[in-house]
Structure 1
Amino acid sequence: MYSKELTKGTLLPIILKLISENDKMYGYEITQKVKEMTKGKIDISEGAMYPILHKLEADGILETEKVYIGKRVRKYYRITPSGKLAITEITAELNDFITTLHLIFNSEKIKL
């Protein structure tokens, strides 16, 4: 499993990417999907995820839908139309950052 320090800056793009690809998702579903896709290397805690979801909702990037399942309420998150542009920008920034890291960590050392 990767350290929380290493994954912290990537949680927002990961969450947005998953929701955008699945129409709508609820919190626990997001955590389980990430764990499954990364074979347990990235484990998003509820304490890390929900503040991000609430901020995205407050910023108008996500909207919510409450679904009642028996006595429980499940809160689904969906990308808003204006949120689609934000996802494009955030994804582009992350991909550029990954490319930059690749330059640093995979460069040939200059021999003097």
Structure 2
Amino acid sequence: MGNSKLYKGSLTTIILKLLEEHGKMYGYEITQKVKDITKGELMITEGALYPALHKLEAEDLLDVEVVKVDNRMRKYYKLTEKGSEETVNKLKELEQYIRNMHVLVNPKWSID
């Protein structure tokens, strides 16, 4: 995997985008989806994921649904209306950041 510090600042955006696409997901499912999508290049640890999920829940961006699966309780996370709005904002911020980075590392590119 590349520099994990580069990804750390994007974790919230990654979580919000996955939940936007998939409706509701549980923690392990999120880690596996990221691993699959990136072909193992990015692996989100539980130590990074769960604090981020709890923070998003505290900010009223996520709802939590607890479901019994195979005699175990599983927490599913899904976006609130506020979370859906924040997803749009975070994706716009990320797109602008990527454009700016392209300009900085390759001055031949133009933001226009």
Corresponding residue of 2:89: 89
Deviations 1:21-48 (A, max 9, x none): 0000000000000000001111100000
The structural deviation recorded for 1:81 is: 1.0
Percent of paired sites with the same residue: 49
- Give the C-alpha shift of residue 4 in structure 1: 1.8
Find the counterpart in structure 2 of residue 49 from structure 1. Answer: 49
Structure 2 unmatched ranges of 5 or more: none
CA RMSD of aligned residues (A): 0.9
| Secondary structure of the structure 2 residue equivalent to 1:44 | coil
Q: How many residues were matched structurally? A: 108
Contact 2:13–2:91 under 8 Å retained in 1:
yes
Name 2:10's counterpart in structure 1: 10
Partner of 1:78: 78
Measured against aligned partners, the alpha-carbon deviations of 1:50-108 in whole angstroms (never above 9, x if no partner) come to 11100000000000000101321110000001211111111100110011001011224
Match of residue 62 from structure 1: 62
Separation in structure 2 between the aligned mates of residue 20 and residue 65 of structure 1, nearest angstrom: 16
Aligned equivalents of 1:80 and 1:102: distance in 2? 33
Deviating 4+ runs (over 6 angstroms): none
Q: Unaligned regions of 5+ residues in structure 1, if any?
A: none
Q: TM-score, normalised by structure 1?
A: 0.92
* TM-score (normalised: structure 2): 0.92
Pair member with larger Rg: 1
Q: Give 1:98's aligned residue.
A: 98
SS of residue in 1 equivalent to 2:67? strand
